[in-house]
C-alpha cells in the first residue's frame, strides 16, 4: 500500500518549482520565451475561435490589443540583439515579430488597410535583424499599400524585398520564396510603369546576386537557388544561362531526381525561347520517369514546344497521349484540357473543342481555366452569328458564376469569378449590369491591371448610356487619382478619348 504524502509536505516543493519557473531556471531568457510563445499561441487560438463562430468585428479590438501588448512587452529589436549569442533570445524576438505581423493581418482583414500599412512600416526597422519577419512584413505592406492605391510606396517595398540576400537567414535551410520571386514581380511592376530599362536592370542585378548566392549556398539551399537563378535568367531571355545552374544540379542529383530535373530544364528552355531544347529535355524526362507527376509535366512541355514550332498536329497528338495515359490527369488536368480545346478550335474542330471546354468547366469549376472556358463558348457563338446559342450558354455560365461567388470564399477565386462575370455581362449586352460589375471589380482590386482596365471600360459604357457623361468623367477622374506612372495615365487618357 502506497504511503500518503501529507498535503503540507508538498507545499515547499511547489514553492521551489514556482521559483524555478519564475527565475527561468537561472536564465531570464527562458522565462521570457515561455511567456512570449504562450501569449502568442493563446491569442492566435482565441482569434481563430472567434473567426470560426463569427464574433462581432468590435470584439477583435481585444485581440489586436493583445498582439500589440506582446510586441511592446518583448521588443523584437532588443531581443534580436542577442541572436548571435543565444537561440533562446531569438525565439523571443521571433514570437514578438510574429505578433506584429498578426496585428497587421487582423487590421487588413477588417478592412483597416491604412492602419495595417502604418503598423507594418513601424515594425520593419524593429525586425531588421530577423529576415523571416522582415520579408513577411515588407511583402504584406506592399500588398496593403497597393490595395490603397499608394503604388509608389508599394513599389519601394517590392524593391526592398528584391534587394535582400536570399541566404541572410541562418535559421532557414532554403531561401525565402518571396525573395526569389521578388525580382520577377519587380520587373513586371516596372514594365507596367513603362520603365523597361529599370526592369532589365532589376533582373540584371538579381542575376548577379543570385549567382553569388548559388555559388555559396549550402547543399540544402542549392536546389531552390538554382531554380531562382534559372527563372531570372529565363526572364532575361538567356536560355543558355538559365539552363546552366539546372545542369549543375542535375549532375549532383541522385538517380531518382534526374527525370525531375530534366522536366524542369525543359520548362526552363521553353520559357527562355528555345523549344528545340525543351523537346530534348522533355523526352529525356519521359524516358527516365513514366509517373504522372514527372512524365505528365514533361508531356505538357513537349506539346507546348511543338506549338511554338508550328507543329500543331504533333502538339495535338501529345495532348491526346496524355489523356489516354492517365484517366485522372491530376494537377496537369486543367492546363491539358484548356490547351487541347484551344488547339482543336484553331484547327476548326469546334464540336470537339466545345466538348473539351464543357468538360473542363464541369471537372474544375473553380479553376481560372474553367472560367475562361465558359467565356470562350459564349464568345464563339457571338463571333459566328449565333446570338440565341450565345444567350443560352451565357445564362448557364452566369448561373454557375453566381453559385461560385456564393459558395467559394477563396480570394483568388472571388477575383477571377467577378472579372468573368463582368466580361460576360458585357458580351451579352446587359450594359447597366455590366457597368456596375466592372466598377465593383476595379474598386475591390485597384492594384490589379485587369481591374484598372475594367474601370476604364466602365467609363466607356457609362459614356454611351443616356445621361452618363458626368458618371464617366467621375470614374476617369478617380482612375487618374489612383494612377501610377506614365503608362497608366496614358491608358486612362486613351480610355477617356475612347469613351467620348
Indicate if the pLDDT at residue 260 is higher than 80.
no
pLDDT of residue 2: 43
Helix ranges (H only) for 408-484 are 411-427, 431-444, 449-463, 469-482
Element of type H or E holding 330: none
Calculate the alpha carbon distances from 436 to 197, 348, 363 in Å.
38, 36, 30
Label residue 82 by pLDDT band (50, 70, 90).
Answer: low
d(CA 293, CA 325): 12
Domain ranges, ordered by start, for the chain: 62-162
Contact present, 258 and 292 (Cβ < 8 Å): no
Mean pLDDT for 73-90 is 78
Label residue 172 by pLDDT band (50, 70, 90).
Answer: confident
Average pLDDT over the chain, rounded to whole? 85
Q: Which three cell numbers stand for residue 389?
A: 446559342
pLDDT of residue 256: 54
Tell me which DSSP letter residue 293 carries: I
d(CA 311, CA 331): 25
d(CA 487, CA 439): 21
Residue of 145, 147, 146, 179 lying closest to 162 (CA atoms): 179
Contact present, 116 and 144 (Cβ < 8 Å): yes
pLDDT of residue 9: 43
Q: Would you call 86 helix, strand, or coil by DSSP? A: coil
| 24 φψ region: left (φ > 0), alpha (ψ -120 to 50), beta (else) | left
Contacts of 50 (CB under 8 A, 6+ apart): 59, 60, 63
Note the pLDDT tens digit of each residue in 227-241.
899 889 988 988 888
Q: Which three cell numbers stand for residue 347?
A: 484547327
Could you give the percent of the chain with pLDDT greater than 70? 88
Residue of 317, 297, 298, 296 lying closest to 307 (CA atoms): 317
Note the pLDDT tens digit of each residue in 3-47.
444 444 444 433 433 434 444 445 678 888 899 999 999 999 999
Would you give the end-to-end CA distance of the chain in angstroms?
98
Note the pLDDT tens digit of each residue in 460-479.
898 888 878 888 888 888 88
Note the pLDDT tens digit of each residue in 205-227.
999 999 999 999 888 888 889 98
Label residue 88 by pLDDT band (50, 70, 90).
Answer: confident
Mean pLDDT for 113-141 is 94
Mean pLDDT for 310-314 is 92
Contacts of 235 (CB under 8 A, 6+ apart): 183, 184, 187, 203
Label residue 254 by pLDDT band (50, 70, 90).
Answer: low
Asked which of 93-102, 271-280, 361-370 is least confident by mean pLDDT, the reply is 271-280
Asked which of 259-263, 376-380, 438-442, 449-453 is least confident by mean pLDDT, the reply is 259-263
Contacts of 107 (CB under 8 A, 6+ apart): 64, 113, 115, 116, 119
Domain 62-162: CATH class, spelled out: mainly alpha
Question: How buried is residue 321: exposed, middle or buried, by Cβ count under 10 Å (0-12/13-18/19+)?
Answer: middle
pTM, whole model, 2 decimals? 0.66
Indicate if the pLDDT at residue 263 is higher than 60.
yes
Note the pLDDT tens digit of each residue in 392-423.
999 999 999 999 999 998 888 999 999 999 99
d(CA 86, CA 64): 29
Amino acid at each position: 500500500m502506497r504511503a500518503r504524502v501529507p498535503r503540507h509536505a508538498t507545499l515547499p516543493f511547489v514553492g521551489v518549482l514556482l521559483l524555478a519557473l519564475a527565475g527561468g531556471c537561472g536564465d531570464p531568457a527562458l522565462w521570457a520565451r515561455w511567456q512570449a510563445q504562450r501569449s502568442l499561441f493563446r491569442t492566435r487560438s482565441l482569434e481563430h475561435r472567434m473567426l470560426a463562430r463569427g464574433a462581432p468585428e468590435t470584439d477583435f479590438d481585444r485581440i489586436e490589443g493583445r498582439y500589440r501588448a506582446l510586441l511592446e512587452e518583448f521588443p523584437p529589436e532588443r531581443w534580436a540583439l542577442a541572436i548571435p549569442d543565444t537561440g533562446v533570445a531569438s525565439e523571443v524576438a521571433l514570437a514578438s515579430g510574429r505578433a506584429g505581423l498578426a496585428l497587421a493581418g487582423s487590421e487588413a482583414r477588417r478592412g483597416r488597410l491604412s492602419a495595417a500599412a502604418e503598423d507594418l512600416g513601424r515594425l520593419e526597422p524593429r525586425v531588421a535583424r530577423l529576415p523571416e519577419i522582415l520579408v513577411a512584413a515588407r511583402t504584406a505592406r506592399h500588398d496593403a499599400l497597393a490595395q490603397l492605391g499608394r503604388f509608389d510606396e508599394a513599389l519601394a517595398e517590392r524593391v526592398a524585398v528584391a534587394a535582400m540576400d536570399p541566404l541572410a537567414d541562418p535559421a532557414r535551410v532554403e531561401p525565402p520564396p518571396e525573395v526569389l520571386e521578388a525580382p520577377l514581380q519587380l520587373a513586371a511592376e516596372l514594365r507596367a510603369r513603362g520603365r523597361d530599362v529599370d526592369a532589365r536592370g532589376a533582373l540584371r542585378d538579381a542575376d548577379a546576386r543570385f549567382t553569388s548566392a548559388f555559388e555559396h549556398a549550402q547543399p540544402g539551399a542549392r536546389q531552390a537557388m538554382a531554380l531562382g537563378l534559372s527563372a531570372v535568367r529565363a526572364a532575361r531571355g538567356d536560355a543558355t544561362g538559365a539552363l546552366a545552374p539546372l545542369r549543375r544540379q542535375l549532375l549532383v542529383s541522385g538517380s531518382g531526381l534526374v527525370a525531375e530535373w530534366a522536366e524542369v530544364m525543359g520548362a526552363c528552355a521553353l520559357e527562355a525561347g528555345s523549344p528545340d531544347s525543351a523537346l530534348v529535355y522533355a523526352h529525356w524526362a519521359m524516358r527516365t520517369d513514366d509517373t504522372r507527376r514527372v512524365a505528365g509535366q514533361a508531356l505538357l512541355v513537349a506539346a507546348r514546344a511543338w506549338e511554338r514550332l508550328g507543329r500543331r498536329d504533333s502538339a495535338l497528338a501529345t495532348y491526346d497521349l496524355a489523356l489516354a495515359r492517365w484517366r485522372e490527369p491530376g494537377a496537369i488536368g486543367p492546363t491539358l484540357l484548356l490547351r487541347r480545346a484551344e488547339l482543336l478550335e484553331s484547327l476548326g474542330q469546334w464540336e470537339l473543342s466545345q466538348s473539351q471546354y464543357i468538360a473542363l468547366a464541369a471537372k474544375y469549376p473553380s479553376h481560372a481555366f474553367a472560367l475562361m472556358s465558359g467565356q470562350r463558348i459564349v464568345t464563339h457563338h457571338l463571333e459566328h452569328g449565333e446570338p440565341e446559342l450565345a444567350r443560352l450558354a451565357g445564362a448557364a455560365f452566369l448561373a454557375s458564376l453566381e453559385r461560385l461567388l456564393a459558395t467559394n470564399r477563396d480570394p483568388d477565386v472571388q477575383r477571377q469569378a467577378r472579372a468573368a462575370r463582368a466580361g460576360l455581362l458585357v458580351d451579352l449586352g446587359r450594359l447597366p449590369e455590366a457597368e456596375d460589375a466592372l466598377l465593383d471589380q476595379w474598386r475591390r482590386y485597384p492594384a490589379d491591371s485587369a481591374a484598372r482596365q475594367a474601370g476604364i471600360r466602365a467609363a466607356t459604357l457609362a459614356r454611351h448610356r443616356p445621361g452618363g457623361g458626368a458618371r464617366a468623367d467621375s470614374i476617369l477622374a478617380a482612375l487618374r487619382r489612383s494612377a501610377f506612372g506614365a503608362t497608366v495615365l496614358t491608358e486612362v487618357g486613351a480610355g477617356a478619348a475612347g469613351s467620348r
